[in-house]
Amino acid sequence: MAMPIEIATGLVEGVIARAAADPAREVCGLLFGGAGRIEAALATANVAADPATTFEIDPAALFAAHRAARAGGPAVIGCYHSHPSGRAVPSARDVAGAEPGQYWLIVAGRDARLYHAGPDGAFLSCPVSKP
């Protein structure tokens, strides 16, 4: 199990609401923060060929977020996405596409779970503490 991390108030509920508003597609976005805290989430377009079963964060949004971080903005520390007809656990595709060190918030219905991608490709469940 990974170290506990704080998540800004309302962030998880916002992601759950976004997923509920588009239940036929995997919604996705970026997570920002650092030092044991996820401070913000940014919704991005899902540009995957089949957004009902997979997600791909819009590369333009990802590049812009990294450019902003280099200029002193918040650091990109992970992503979120929904599993419209699945569970809030990493799929084999999620594990294969994960960048080590990044956080993944996965939402399915009202269930939201946070994971940390380890250096060996394993996903570690992250306990979430109240800020």
Q: What is the pLDDT of residues 87-123, one digit of tens each?
A: 999 998 998 888 888 999 999 999 999 999 888 777 7
Residue 131 lies in a domain: no
User: Residue 10's domain is classified under what CATH number?
Assistant: 3.40.140.10
Q: How confident is the model at residue 1 (pLDDT cuts 50, 70, 90)?
A: low
Helix (H, G, I), strand (E, B) or coil at 3: coil
**Range 69-90 average pLDDT:** 94
Residue 127 lies in a domain: no
Asked if pLDDT for residue 130 goes beyond 70, the answer is: no
State the residue range of the domain holding 62: 5-108
Strands 76-82 and 111-117, by their bridges, are unpaired
Domains contained in the chain, number: 1
Residue 72 lies in a domain: yes
Residue 64 lies in a domain: yes
Contact 33, 77 (CB under 8 A): yes
Residues labelled as active-site residues:
26
Residue 113 lies in a domain: no
CA–CA dist 78, 93 (Å, integer): 16
Residue 28 lies in a domain: yes
